[in-house]
Chains A and B, each alone.
Chain A
Amino acid sequence: MKPTLPILFASLILAIASAAYAQDETLTVPRSIEAGSAFSIQNAGSGEAALYIVGPGQVLKRTVQLGTSTYFPAGSICNAGHYVVILAQSSGTTTGSFDVTPVSAPSNLSFFAKPSRLPVGLHGGITGAVYIFDVYHNLIAAPTPVSFELSSPTGVVQKQQASTRVGAAWTAMDSTSQQGSSKFVAQAGSVSSTSIIRQVPGDPCDLKMSAQPSGQQLDLQTTPVLDCSGNAVPDGTIVTFTETYPGGQSTVDVPLKRDIAEVKMPAHDGATITVASGVVLGNQIRWGK
């Protein structure tokens, strides 16, 4: 009795399937290992073969005796990733693959903090983003707790907790009310990274000037120029005095010196004098008639 065509096809498929299974059995590869840890790859058969482990981040080649287990000591593969395994022998090649996962303990942080300098009292003005890496500089993708701390010059500390999402976490914090340098720290496990944020006074607040006659001139002088948190606005900040009088106008820019700005201007009868710094307007004085 001759076998029918469907039976022949079924037999052929079974033969191919069993051959594929047998081929897979010649190579036993771990499904996953931790970066830097030791591992073994087993193979069946006899004779000599070349074993390749290939990933974009690392490549290994070994000559192996078939029917033995090839041992890779700790530190053989440190870069996390997906690795292809090829066992090449005279009769053909067998392939497999495995993953190398990062070590779970954080060892390095990449911390981006911005800006390095900003005015005091700015809501959400300071941002920090952090990426967490293991000892081999693999990004730790598993959720990992991170703490952010911003300490002001007066010792006040803002704290925030976050958890990484695929290795990254971020925060936004307010600049403090005191000028000076603040430490901005990101910490994961026992590893931390610090950035220094310089907080400078904000725009002048409540700008005031007074006028005193001095012969044909007026002595104009501001009170100490402070921001809205009471910090002295830096020397060198420009204060603009403008005198408008019948038939003309004079403008003088004066840098702050020891917190105040002063200038002499002609004492025109009926003049109106204003003071400003940047977009902040101060008081107005009307002189004479």
Chain B
Amino acid sequence: MLRHSALVCASIILASGMIAAQPEVSVDTSQLKGPRPLEDQTKAAAVRDYLESWQGMNQALEQNQPGLLDEDFIGTARDKLADAIDEQAKAGIQTRYEDRGHHIQFLFYSPEGLSIELIDDAEYDVQVLDHDKPVSTVPVSTRYIVVLTPAEVRWKVRVMQADSK
């Protein structure tokens, strides 16, 4: 009985920890301009793939593995992140990006369907490690401009650029 209770408690603690680790996400399409309507399925896929790109970016920057960017990033965004990883690796630095919240506003769905632009008021913590030793963790709240383009089976991030609010 005691064992069962402990297991349940552990499960609840684990579950609450997992829930807490999920960033808060809100999505707004009221600012969307352009001739092409954004269907719910497309919107859901774009949001899902964009949020996954944060996980991919975090893993790549934490492990200094540019190959981990390939699933989520393409073009300029991929090149710039890969360059940053190269700089990190040379300096013995790793960075961890833990996203806490995203307020996503869709801005533009291009008429031919080849790009979606959104802005994301993102909140995250960036932790810097120098030769595996934590240096500092800094909370950041900033606005990202993001351009997604369709790849074989998913939306990939082509532009991801913080913009002063």
Q: Which residues of A contact B (CB under 8 A)?
A: 32, 50, 52, 54-61, 79-82, 84, 86, 88, 93, 95, 97, 99, 101-102, 112-115, 127-129, 131, 133, 137-139, 141, 165-168, 170, 172
Contacts and interface: CB of A to CB of B under 8 A. Distances in A.
Contacts of B81: 56-57
B117 A166 contact: yes
Contact of A82 (B83, B142, B159): B142
A167 B91 CA distance: 33
A139 B145 CA distance: 8
B39 to A, nearest CB: 18
Contact of B87 (A58, A81, A88): A58
A114 B93 contact: no
A115 to B, nearest CB: 8
Contacts of B103: none
Contacts, number: 134
* Residue among A56, A60, A137 having the largest count of chain B Cβ atoms under 10 Å: A56
Given A60-B87, A61-B93, A141-B163, A86 B145 contact: no
Interface residues of B, number: 41
A57 B91 contact: no
Give 6 closest A-B pairs by Cβ, nearest first. Answer: A114-B112, A82-B162, A129-B110, A127-B111, A81-B162, A99-B164
B140 interface: yes
Interface string B127-165: 010100001101010100101000000000001111110
Nearest to B111: A127
